[in-house]
Structure 1
């Protein structure tokens, strides 16, 4: 079943809408051309040798295959300049979509395990962050994370590195990878919270609703990456609604990793109808053949009107860790764009 094409006026509204991105991975933002450039630079043989082969490589069989490709591509990031290049390109592409602020996941352990220091990673991305704010006006913040299926000890190493080397622009701590029971990570996340980091785990993407419950109860999650399987548990949906815990949803990602079989089956509209706080995100844009603008387009094709898209944009602002004055300004801009298009939509 194909999704409907949007009218030009609706496309213009989506383009003009100020946006916030809360769930996008730095390493998953690597464009194919950059991947090839860095692979040649460092002699990495585990990635394809042409753009056409990279596009085929990004046709994921399932979620474990996606993780396999993701970790292979990470091998091309070695020195400070590599991280700066990647972050600068990601920031410019976000800014071109009228994204004003982004909280970007950084797969820090994937670098530590290869002998790349946290200092190298943070030096590169911080140089790009400050330049992007000067050049494009976009503000970036970082969420270091680790793959939960690697074990809690790897999370401890990651958090140690963050606390030793992380700049003030680090706002949270996360866990991703293949979903596993979160109980062993409770003390780790308690330590991260005690250090002033927000708890921002992935949960309920491929794993069941029990992972979402664990994220709430054991990790004291303030936002949850994905969370779509919560819709299988009525009591959990009621709790998420009552506690207004934001869920960072990425429809195209969920399709491409097999979390949903068809895009029109995505639970986004039902989540909103249930009163959940949903933000819209791109996750790993080039790997999934998308970007944040396209996610808004997809939400519209799933039945959301201009008011619904504006509400998603406001949710992103409200769920972010922007300062309150900046939030008020950005929400006012969203409302102004919506008002300016009301007569054409």
Structure 2
């Protein structure tokens, strides 16, 4: 059978040879934080197939080649359909623990020190998987990973906005009843519908001490970002690339240094942009936005965080810019100030020791 690393999905991650050796070394050495990555969307094909066979799930791929075909997305709604179908393989505590350990090991191998992972909680609740099972599994995996790899993981449970207010209420109720202390925020994703109907849900979440971290402005226009800010009290914006269509919004985000979690390859693969060359990442940085770099759903999009740094370099960012992105991730993370200072100092030291082209 073809190995996990041999799968091409009809596209390849940008090779280390695409960038100068000194830049590649910098990318590898930089301590990293990842803030917009989905736990379920990080399931590697081998793990996915192991669970497909475990439960004999009909209608899902049975080989690595079929997984590659499965991950060829026509558009964003098609990606959501595939994503929802894929989570069917996660049913028991052991499945969630297995997934978490694997995802954490792969993040740690990229020198990711801290990650906040979105958990698609509603997609499990609606299948009859209790929140207690989901949280027990991911916490088991988190503790194992932190002990083995030293990486720290935190959780952002979310719900698909296109499933309506009831889905959000059910998800938040489950978080408040069963969520462990490692839950730091509350998210909304899915098809990008209006965010205003979720105002009451987010008021409850914030009152309970959860940070507001909605997806907005991926493909719904700058008005979705405004809604997230004004009605949901968003503290970070997931994606947010459509913000660049509204100069007043750009100025607001820049002035208040509201983080925007950007995932270039994801935007390309879901057809939010037509080509990687037109991605607004460089313009966002030039405008003074606090942009963080992320992989979103890495195996589904044929990428990982290291590859996103390569992509950023190919878009024109130099070594200092890449270090800036790494520092931005630290600044936007829900870490203690002392931890932020230590990580930022380490990033500065790595940059000072590098000779990027």
User: Normalising by the residue count of structure 1, what TM-score does the alignment of the two structures yield?
Assistant: 0.98
Deviations 1:183-215 (A, max 9, x none): 110010000000000000000001110000000
Aligned counterpart, 1:16: 29
Shift of 1:172: 0.1
Deviations 1:216-244 (A, max 9, x none): 00000000000000111111111111111
Q: 1:235 aligns with which of 221, 224, 248?
A: 248
Secondary structure in 2 aligned to 1:332? helix
Matched, 1:103 2:131: no
Give the distance between the partners of 2:164 and 2:143, measured in 1 at CA. Answer: 33
Gaps of 5+ in 1: none
Matches within 5 A, 1:1-345: 5-342=18-355, 345=357
Give the distance between the partners of 1:138 and 1:153, measured in 2 at CA. Answer: 35
Deviations 1:265-308 (A, max 9, x none): 00000001111110000000000000000000000000000000
Deviations 1:101-137 (A, max 9, x none): 0000000000000000000000000011111111000
Shift of 1:84: 0.3
Give the distance between the partners of 2:342 and 2:273, measured in 1 at CA. Answer: 36
Give the distance between the partners of 1:43 and 1:29, measured in 2 at CA. Answer: 21
Q: Root-mean-square deviation (CA), in Å?
A: 1.2
Give the distance between the partners of 1:71 and 1:45, measured in 2 at CA. Answer: 14
User: Normalising by the residue count of structure 2, what TM-score does the alignment of the two structures yield?
Assistant: 0.95
Give the distance between the partners of 1:38 and 1:125, measured in 2 at CA. Answer: 16
Give the distance between the partners of 2:18 and 2:121, measured in 1 at CA. Answer: 39
Deviations 1:55-104 (A, max 9, x none): 11101000000001101110000000000000100000000000000000
Deviations 1:235-270 (A, max 9, x none): 111111111110000000000000000001000000
Give the distance between the partners of 1:81 and 1:63, measured in 2 at CA. Answer: 30
Secondary structure in 2 aligned to 1:67? helix
Secondary structure in 2 aligned to 1:75? helix
Gaps of 5+ in 2: 1-16
Give the distance between the partners of 1:221 and 1:177, measured in 2 at CA. Answer: 17
The structure 1 segments of at least 4 consecutive aligned residues displaced by more than 3 Å after TM superposition are none
Shift of 1:45: 1.0
